Amino acid sequence: MSLPTVFYLSTSSMSTLSEGIVGKRKRGGTKKTKSIPKGDILIDSAKNEWIILNSIARGGFGEIYTASKSTSAKQDNFIIKIEPTENGPLFCEKTVYIRIGKKEDIKEYMKSKGLKSLGMPQFYGSGNHIADGKKYRFLVMERYGRDLWSIFLENNRIFPVSTVFKIANQVLDVLEYIHSKGYVHADIKGANLLLGKMKGYENQVYLVDFGLAARYTNVYKPDPRRAHNGTLEYTSRDGHEGIVTRRGDIEVLGYNILQWISSNLPWEHMRDLNEIHGKKVKYMKNYNQLLQICFNNKTPPGALEKYFNVLSKMEPLQEPKYKLLKQYLSDGIAQTGDTSNKLNFSPKKCRTIDKSPPSSVPAKLRKMNNEKIICPTHKRPPTTNRKRMISSKQPRKRKTLKEVGRIVLLLLVVPNY
């Protein structure tokens, strides 16, 4: 039975419910959420009333519900993300949405840029709610459609080139807006990119989940506390060092573009954080080698080469060349002959590719690592890492009962053993 895909406030995808709807957390650091009864009314800080409908996702640290505004005849147009006030992630995300998700700000920006639409989620409300004597914090957002990761899997891990470039242009638009507000997103990926659900916006991609969003500064200084934050497969070189930069967002998007077109990234099955960081540093110094590996020595799209050329030359604190990048991508779309504004996700024929699942999949599923299969369907998206606690050393093997017995015997016979 497949899980519903008409929601979005997750850090990876709701197909990864075992990790909670707000991503992996340190044990003991968060409180679990008790379900809110259907029909309960939540009142936000602006005194708007929201009716709880159905729970569509639940994790160890929070829950997501469909909701409707009490004054609206339309149902299920909103979702509410809720978690105990003792938890911190939703508070951080709410703060970001309040600062950059206001309807007036988004409209004003769109007008200044001549945009008909922008993939920036609008903030509708937030507040506190008490249920069974327990206090919760909640966030109200618009309900969106499917996420790109699930569509990517259905398409045998590949998208048409023109569709990828259209998506990338839309993401660059919203990144430029976010950056203009002094923030970076830091976790761009298919699971956090959702299609519009409202009529007329089905071909608009929305960038969601601002759980890792942070203000960037003019100081380039590594921060061990933030090191490797994000989704490992796409984390930027700066992100691996715990540095918040606009360049990082452009790089994260670049890795997504590369994966959507070529189906893979050279490091997506690796587990060692420093090794993955080293690979990205190496390949960014020679991005042509990266493209050759991903495309199996075949010629990659010219627009993709130009994108990585610009990225490879960017200084850490430099403002991205949004207009130039979008021009390259638009030229790439034109070269495909696609003149439509629609996002075409037509499935491709099954291909033989590496069976190895993304690095977020448990190790027991990574046996037979070198086998090949036809049309694999990896269910889990790469997961966001808030505080990744992975050792670069190999785990110690457990001693067998026989070995333990020998040690005990030696301790009895030889006291100083």
Catalytic residue list = 187
Residue 349, burial from CB neighbour count under 10 angstroms (0-12, 13-18, 19+): exposed
- Assess contact for 232 and 221: CB atoms under 8 A: no
Instruction: Report the distance separating Cα 240 and Cα 225, nearest Å.
Output: 11
Residue 211 and residue 187 in contact, taking contact as beta carbons nearer than 8 Å: yes
Check: CB of residue 138 under 8 Å from CB of residue 127: yes
Facing residues of 79 across strands?
Answer: 66, 141
**Distance (Å, whole) CA 194 – CA 201:** 11
Which residue carries 């994966």 as its tokens?
259
Spatial CA neighbour of 118 closest among 183, 176, 179, 189: 176
Specify burial of residue 19 (Cβ count, 10 A radius: 0-12, 13-18, 19+). Answer: buried
The 3-class SS string of 85-150 reads: CCCCHHHHHHHHHHHHCCHHHHHHHHHHHCCCCCCCCCEEEEEEEEECCEEEEEEEEECCCCEHHH
Distances (CA, A) of 43 to 19, 49, 96, 364: 29, 5, 20, 45
Rounded-to-integer distance, Cα 221 and Cα 238, Å: 10
